[in-house]
Amino acid sequence: MVHVSVERPSAAPIPTATPHASASPVTPPPRQAPNRAKPLVELQQVTKVYANGSRALRDVSLQIRPGDFLFVTGPSGSGKSTLLKLLYGAERPSSGQVFVENHNLLNVHGNHLSQLRRRIGVVFQDYKLIPRRTVSENVAFVLWAQGFTRKEIHRRLIPTLKMVGLQDKAQCFPDELSGGEQQRVSIARAIVGTPPLLLADEPTGNLDPDNSWQVIKILKKLNSIGITVVVTTHNEQLVRMSNHPVVQLRDGHLYSVRS
């Protein structure tokens, strides 16, 4: 269960996939008897102020446990993207502490931070695909950069593409895909390393309603196999169609909407 504690004011060549290759099914992130009582992610009285004086987050406290699916809602500029950046170490809090898998990110730097980020999948609104790489190459690039063998990359690639329904698009380039398909490539790239935590920053922001719901269904499927999912969105309709916990950011403050 998501727990929110807030101060409340008034209110090299990369192996490619072949459709007939044999592969093992996608499995949940490896972990031994996950303890639901222990948060996977925790923010303790976090405030974030940028150099220009803009205050993105104000005294935010939040706990996310293994297996949770959490929506973070709020208007543009409310601090949603900043919150996710704090969780994968792209930003540092101005005050307070951020813990991921019991690591205090204030004390994590260099190679240690790189290793921790490998256990966090990130999906961006604008996809961030490599234009001159095929679907399978875009997805495999993450594993190749981490030093996986060609055999292991190939073993993971096919089931991951099947998970997002893109096994028949493996040899296509990004400009040959629809926006919804490109976002599914982004999701596949984020999960191919079987991270225990997936952060999706406005993953449906550029998509029509049908493709938006397809993306949410994929994220739900990933959550069902054990991946903890955090989704930022301003699409209230998608949130209403789901029964997952919801928190809302307004003026940097975090509020519990549905638990």
Number of domains in the chain: 1
Helix 150-163 and helix 209-224: axis angle, to 10°?
A: 120
pLDDT at residue 1, as a whole number: 60
Q: Which H/E stretch holds residue 123?
A: strand 120-123
In a domain, 192, yes or no: yes
Q: Fill in the DSSP letter of residue 104.
A: E
Range of the domain at 166: 25-35+67-91+109-258
Percentage above 90 pLDDT, the chain: 76
Cα 18 to Cα 55: distance, rounded to the nearest angstrom: 49
Using pLDDT thresholds of 50, 70 and 90, give the confidence band for residue 259: confident
Residue range 194-214: average pLDDT? 94
In a domain, 103, yes or no: no
In a domain, 41, yes or no: no
Q: Which of 228, 233, 223, 240 is nearest to 63 (CA)?
A: 228
Number of H helices, E strands in the chain: 7, 11
Higher pLDDT, 218 or 4: 218
pLDDT at residue 34, as a whole number: 55
pLDDT at residue 96, as a whole number: 98
* 204 contacts 238 by C-beta, under 8 angstroms: yes
In a domain, 246, yes or no: yes
In a domain, 72, yes or no: yes
Instruction: Report the SS3 class of residue 132.
Output: coil
Helical segments of 50-90, H only: 80-87
pLDDT at residue 191 is higher than 90: yes
In a domain, 228, yes or no: yes
In a domain, 102, yes or no: no
In a domain, 5, yes or no: no
CATH number (domain holding residue 161) = 3.40.50.300
Higher pLDDT, 137 or 35: 137
